[in-house]
Amino acid sequence: DGGITQSPKYLFRKEGQNVTLSCEQNLNHDAMYWYRQDPGQGLRLIYYSQIVNDFQKGDIAEGYSVSREKKESFPLTVTSAQKNPTAFYLCASSGGAISSDTQYFGPGTRLTVL
């Protein structure tokens, strides 16, 4: 079954701790994205990667870091520098080709800082 998986579904962290959210896709997509969603609001882009070993900052990259060492994986680290990390985090991927740049989303990870 092709798709995007995110783990864990729920994550709790203490203030001052770094935490890494996993995102894996088996769709053979070139591009991957991380978004953040706050209650009652739309999605905001954190980072995106169009190819392995390359990534760009989105609108709200401060306090976050990513890596793209493999085509199928795009982990997001929420660092202690992120002042308000409690949110719903969504990973997406797209094929990048002319007929397939539609973004498909994973199920999300809900992060709560205690």
Partner 1 sequence: DAKTTQPTSMDCAEGRAANLPCNHSTISGNEYVYWYRQIHSQGPQYIIHGLKNNETNEMASLIITEDRKSSTLILPHATLRDTAVYYCIVRVAYDYKLSFGAGTTVTVRA
- Site residues (vs partner 1, CB under 8 A): 4, 6, 31, 33, 35, 42-43, 45, 48, 50, 56, 58-59, 88, 90, 92, 96, 98, 101-108, 110
Give the burial class of 10: count Cβ atoms within 10 A of its Cβ; 0-12 exposed, 13-18 middle, 19 or more buried.
exposed
Nearer to partner 1, 73 or 80 (CB): 73
Closest CA to 86 of 33, 44, 38, 40: 38
Q: What is the DSSP letter of 81?
A: T
Nearer to partner 1, 17 or 100 (CB): 100
Nearer to partner 1, 19 or 55 (CB): 55
Geometric angle at alpha carbon 69, from 7 and 62, rounded to 5°: 70
Rounded least distance, CB 24 to partner 1, Å:
14
